[in-house]
Structure 1
């Protein structure tokens, strides 16, 4: 997959109508009974931003995912895109995604060129409205994980994401023994599920339009 052709396609494509919830629903966890998960919150969602950072490495297009450390929280140990919550210092959610990614994985935000964004996504588990920002960087980054927020960084090849063989499903047990049936992407032998998988699913849907030779 050619890096320049891919990033050029995405930059143009995200300016048009996006598949949004149609794509998100394909990766949404459900109860073992098959019933959909329902969560309500008493307060409005906070804003956040995450980064899908594309770069070329030895002829392959890759992007970083982080593994969250184990902690007493909703997203303990999960695979995620780098990013976090909007702060008052941020100009917008694009800035949030860049700032948080710099803090979490040690990339210089000024080296990143923004391509665009996917649809805003509501993370029901933590009550956040997140903007998935797509960016590119012209050189292979040297990642430096922030140990309080990042247990590990993996860099799957972009082609894995759009490989149907990588789309799987399993039962996952979360806090308090709560079980869910979760579609997931098997990337670098990691289980990428939940909100991250749902956001990436929109990118996968868009890539169905990518011209092939």
Structure 2
């Protein structure tokens, strides 16, 4: 997709497109015994009429994926009514965005990881101005990445990644000095493909082919 096309679309038009493409989409849900359920928020925010997505960089103190870029989210608690509540609760706990500030735009297919998690990605919109309140134990910093970055091949690459005596194609997106990769990059890629019909990968991989 041409970056000039997405840059010519204002924030509201982008949100309308996302809503239209996801409104009647029925995500493929995974049900497996003995797995851990989690959820993440793919969150849009308006910066000078330009759509951005919110990511977090994990600290070196968290249990897994230390220092990596991820979407806000985490494991489901027994008190969560559903996985959308999980995603909003975790977002609030990590970066301070109130659940009531998040408007649901849609849901994507579940994603199974080799660490035995099922991740349910929800797409949302932060509906009004707020100030981040960062959980410094879990989050090193917040990144607001322009959507247009994911609609160009320039910032994308595929690398062969060894895991359990096999080589897998793993996705990487480069933003300034940071790298979005692994499961998060795969979910970005899937979202962009679903909504904008764009995939920079020369040979797109299936969820089962991503080991991270």
For the aligned pair, the TM-score class normalised by the smaller chain equals 0.7 to 0.9
Whole-angstrom distance in 1 between the partners of 2:95 and 2:22: 25
Over aligned residues, Cα RMSD in angstroms?
Answer: 2.7
Alpha-carbon shift at residue 170 of structure 1 (Å): 4.8
1:202 alignment partner in structure 2: 190
Structure 1 gap segments, 5+ residues each? 21-42
Answer yes or no: is 1:132 the counterpart of 2:140: no
Where does 1:135-174 land on structure 2 (aligned, <5 Å)? 135-170=124-159
Alpha-carbon shift at residue 19 of structure 1 (Å): 9.2
Whole-angstrom distance in 1 between the partners of 2:123 and 2:88: 10
1:86 alignment partner in structure 2: 76
Contact 1:63 1:156 in 2 (8 A): yes
1:53 alignment partner in structure 2: 43
Contact 2:62 2:138 in 1 (8 A): no
TM-score (norm 1): 0.77
TM-score (norm 2): 0.77
Alpha-carbon shift at residue 13 of structure 1 (Å): 1.3
2:4 alignment partner in structure 1: none
Q: Secondary structure at the match of 1:165?
A: coil
Task: Indicate the structure whose relative CO is greater, using CA pairs within 8 Å and at least 6 residues apart.
Answer: 1
Contact 2:171 2:186 in 1 (8 A): no
Looking at secondary structure, tell me which structure has more strand per residue.
Answer: 2
Contact 1:56 1:140 in 2 (8 A): no
